[in-house]
Amino acid sequence: MSSGLRAIARLVTAIAAITAYVALHLAVTACLDLRARDRFHEAPAQAAAFLAALDRQADGERSARAHIRRIDAWFDQNAPVRGSRSTVSSAADYAEEGRVSLARKQVSGLAEEIEEDQARLDRELSSSTDLALYFAAPAGVLLVPVLRLRHRRRSGAAEIVDVVSRFVPPQPWWRRPVFLMASWVGYGLFASGSLAVATSEQRGYTMPLETQVLLLLGGLAALGAGVLILRYCRPRSARSAAQALLADGRRPVLYLRSFADDDTAASVDDGAPVNIHSREEQLAGALSAFGPVIAVGKPGEPLPRLGAARFYLPQDDWQPVVLRLMELSQLIVLGLGLGEGLWWEVEQARATQPARKLVLLAPAGLPDVAARLDEHLPTPARLDEVIAGDSWISAVIAFDPDGTPRVHPVGPVSDTARRGALASLVARVREAGRSPMIPLSTPAHQVVRAVKAALASVGVRRRTLAWRGVFAVQAALWKGFALVVSVALLSWLVSRARQLFAL
């Protein structure tokens, strides 16, 4: 499945889900309107009983007042707003005060008002029923392309899923759902706590001191609890490589690196008020502009690292699988190092795959890497002129169709060097200091921008690559906000259903 078709599939699925939700809400509303209309059929009899109770009160019967109050409560519960409800309520007030003549005069046109209310309820029922059908029909129609696109997505990934699924360790069926639900609780606490703390800091001067302190302390407590839950549950709810491929449907990005670099890639840098996403997560989030990012997991690790979806190869027979995955992937991102396996992968990628399919990440602090890389290239890359210091990644290398390397150093990018109206707006907002949501230039973000520039220099462009890396820093926050909105919408629907079943 191509990126364009996947975007269409996600759009159609989102429209179908929203339409189905609205149709379900309107169906519940129609059922409530039907019940209200059926209950109001008793209104003429209740009106006659009300008039009889007024007559009994005029004759001095004491029990008539209680009867009048019961009928008034019935109209208040079952009659539409205004109309007969208001009339009966006013008449009951007069009767309570002992002014029975005014009460009888108030209800002189009650029969006509009841007829108008019945007609009004009929119109509301017809309108809500028609609206429910108008939304239910397209929801049902959209279900067909949603299922067809889902089948196409899964069948398109079947070949590579068949390769990878053999190397995904089995897990109990309940493990991922349970920890995924716990993770969503963590996301909700994380987002709610962040919002509470930000509100206390930015709007606290408009609140009483006690409210500000309570909001700040509550926000910090929710934020801390969310971080602890997410740190424990996210690795246990991470998708395997096979699940990620099935969910996406596009050809993957194969991320190769030395296992010794996993600890560095797992570092979490300051890039947001509270950041819980590692460098590899940010890099994988950006590279998802091409497809799902998969990687070989380190043998024996108890939990998968977050970022690229993992699968685990045998240590004695991994090379044929890597070669096959190189063929099935649309992009190969390879972090250079000192391991012999890495240089075998560089050699095979250079020999068997199109040149523009390979992207190399060169770390700093390893001078031997530059000389060794030049042994595998027809044209020297001169990495030693670029890599320096001890940064995570110092340079990104892409290749022209003829195999000529294009080296792009990794470093901070000033806002003035960026182009586009959106980038200019971001720069102005940052200067004004009004957006804690826009992250700083993290090491991973600098690498992502260098990857984008390197690929663009050889004719491979993805406009959303850099912004996906930015959003990856805020992923926990956005997921939390999405959860809060989803829970609010679901609670609204449940409350309407509770009204329908009188719970």
pLDDT digits (tens, 9 = 90+) for 348-398: 999 999 999 999 999 877 777 888 888 888 887 777 766 665 678 889 999
Residue 224 CA to residue 369 CA, distance in Å, equals 41
Buried b (16+ CB within 10 A) or exposed e, 9-27: beebbeebeebbebbbbbb
pLDDT of residue 436: 45
DSSP state of 460: -
pLDDT digits (tens, 9 = 90+) for 305-316: 999 999 999 988
DSSP state of 256: E
Q: In what order do the strands lie in the sheet with 405-409?
A: 309-311, 293-296, 253-256, 331-335, 358-362, 395-399, 405-409
pLDDT of residue 70: 92
pLDDT digits (tens, 9 = 90+) for 316-357: 889 999 999 999 999 999 999 888 889 999 999 999 999 999
What is the pTM (predicted TM-score) of this model? 0.81
Percentage of the chain surpassing pLDDT 70? 92
pLDDT digits (tens, 9 = 90+) for 9-55: 889 999 999 999 999 999 999 998 898 899 899 999 999 998 999 88
pLDDT digits (tens, 9 = 90+) for 96-108: 888 888 888 888 8
Instruction: Give strand pairing partners of 311.
Output: 296
Angle subtended at Cα 474 by Cα 472 and Cα 479, rounded to the nearest 5 degrees:
95
pLDDT of residue 422: 47
| Domain ranges across the chain | 1-156, 175-481
Question: Residue 417: is its pLDDT beyond 50?
Answer: no
**Closest to 398 (Cα-Cα) out of 318, 462, 319, 471:** 462
Residue 440 CA to residue 400 CA, distance in Å, equals 32
Q: Residue 451 is inside which H or E element, if any?
A: helix 443-457
pLDDT of residue 339: 83
pLDDT of residue 433: 44
- Considering just the CA atoms, what is the radius of gyration of the chain in Å? 33
Q: What is the mean pLDDT of the chain?
A: 87
Judging by DSSP bridges, how do beta strands 405-409 and 395-399 pair with one another? antiparallel
Pick the residue with more confidence: 405 or 438?
A: 405
| Averaged pLDDT for residues 234-259 | 93
Q: Which residues contact 133 (CB under 8 A, 6 or more apart)?
A: none
Place of tokens 């590899």: 280
pLDDT of residue 373: 86
Q: Residue 200 is inside which H or E element, if any?
A: helix 175-203
pLDDT digits (tens, 9 = 90+) for 280-298: 999 999 999 999 999 999 9
